[in-house]
Structure 1
């Protein structure tokens, strides 16, 4: 039986594939252990940060109401989503958000506008503000994606700016950021996700501020 030569690229591809499978397996093992230990050890809780220290353009003439983001059920939770592979969904066993993701991101979006925009006021629906504009967003992706090159935090949010009086969509845009994570462990994963969402919010605030 003759030996079949194996190229260096084949070896690297197989090694990357094996590493990815081991990483995915560790996620599910961790989840199983977490369930077994449920009730004995609190799950570490992490927060998101509102970006600051940046500037946005625009005249600042107007008031904005920011509606709570919409999201699919897999993201409408305080669990931290992981995408082990195409079409697959899991959650980190060793970390959770401090609130349901849409509620948490809603608060940080408002704070990001307050930190940088020149608007007269930024508010939530029901705050009694006679808004000139309404910002409607949808969380498309907010997850740690496992790739052959390692875990990557991916955040993608679509936004629509609506004229309150006319009800017309004045502008629409999709914002995306990807930040490599040092590992798939809770602390490293949440740091990368926080950095990615900060990048997205900066993009969104700067984009929206040019429309006012």
Structure 2
């Protein structure tokens, strides 16, 4: 093969991996573009239980949910069958983990139980709280630049020694966002989630004999 042809073939063979690398680097850059990070807080006004803590270990398991919510992206639905995510913001943790944290902090703040955690201190806890996160998204109003945030979950209290279901309840709340701005939407998330978590904490303490 003439030398010129050899050089040309070598140059083409090197160009293909370089182009692939550039494409991968571009995708990586897009994926790691910084976004504003937000974290919801558990309600600060939950009443503490009077008297001594109950000698019970309560384990709050990570909620199960659909694949669309198994992410740190913040979902907004422009239509009933559409799911999109806000482009420039994200949660500090995937939505189920953040909800688990809210539930844990809220129940712990009641000072009703000797231990509230994600995992038992020993082989098992006394009770496990098992949750399915159904809705955790904003719904855009098609006729206006506003939205409604919906938070809904089903929670069960399970006695660990015999896996009996002690109590079951659904929780749901919604809050309006006056605009589609990130701050307005996140304020609505905070309001709706706060109501659900407050109701959960009151129900759990009552169902476990601490109410």
Matched, 1:102 2:96: yes
1:47 is aligned, of 20, 33, 39, to 39
The residue correspondences of 1:117-196 to structure 2 (distance < 5 A) are 117-128=111-122, 130-147=124-141, 148=143, 150-196=146-192
Per the TM alignment, residue 116 of structure 1 is displaced from its structure 2 partner at its CA by 1.7
2:206 is aligned, of 189, 205, 210, to 210
Partners of 1:56 and 1:209 within 8 A in 2: no
Partners of 1:46 and 1:98 within 8 A in 2: yes
Spell out structure 1 runs of 4+ moving beyond 6 A: 56-59
Per the TM alignment, residue 197 of structure 1 is displaced from its structure 2 partner at its CA by 0.9
RMSD of aligned C-alpha atoms?
2.3
Partners of 2:48 and 2:109 within 8 A in 1: no
Partners of 1:94 and 1:185 within 8 A in 2: no
In the alignment, the residues of structure 1 paired with residue 180 and residue 204 of structure 2 have an alpha-carbon distance, to the nearest angstrom, of: 33
Partners of 1:177 and 1:199 within 8 A in 2: yes
1:114 is aligned, of 88, 94, 108, to 108
In the alignment, the residues of structure 1 paired with residue 149 and residue 140 of structure 2 have an alpha-carbon distance, to the nearest angstrom, of: 9
In the alignment, the residues of structure 2 paired with residue 201 and residue 101 of structure 1 have an alpha-carbon distance, to the nearest angstrom, of: 14
The number of equivalent residue pairs is: 177
Q: Under a length normalisation based on structure 1, what TM-score does the superposition of the two structures give?
A: 0.76
Partners of 1:58 and 1:209 within 8 A in 2: no
Deviations 1:107-166 (A, max 9, x none): 121111111241121011254374221100111000011134630111001100111112
Matched, 1:38 2:30: yes
The higher radius of gyration belongs to 2
Where structure 2 has 5 or more consecutive residues not aligned to the other structure, the ranges are 1-26
Q: Under a length normalisation based on structure 2, what TM-score does the superposition of the two structures give?
A: 0.76
In the alignment, the residues of structure 2 paired with residue 153 and residue 58 of structure 1 have an alpha-carbon distance, to the nearest angstrom, of: 34
In the alignment, the residues of structure 2 paired with residue 164 and residue 126 of structure 1 have an alpha-carbon distance, to the nearest angstrom, of: 11
Q: Which has the higher contact order (CA 8 A, sep 6+)?
A: 1
In the alignment, the residues of structure 2 paired with residue 63 and residue 183 of structure 1 have an alpha-carbon distance, to the nearest angstrom, of: 43
**3-state SS of paired residue (1:42):** coil
Deviations 1:5-43 (A, max 9, x none): xxxxxxxxxxxxxxxxxxxxxxxxxxxxxx9x9379521
Matched, 1:81 2:75: yes
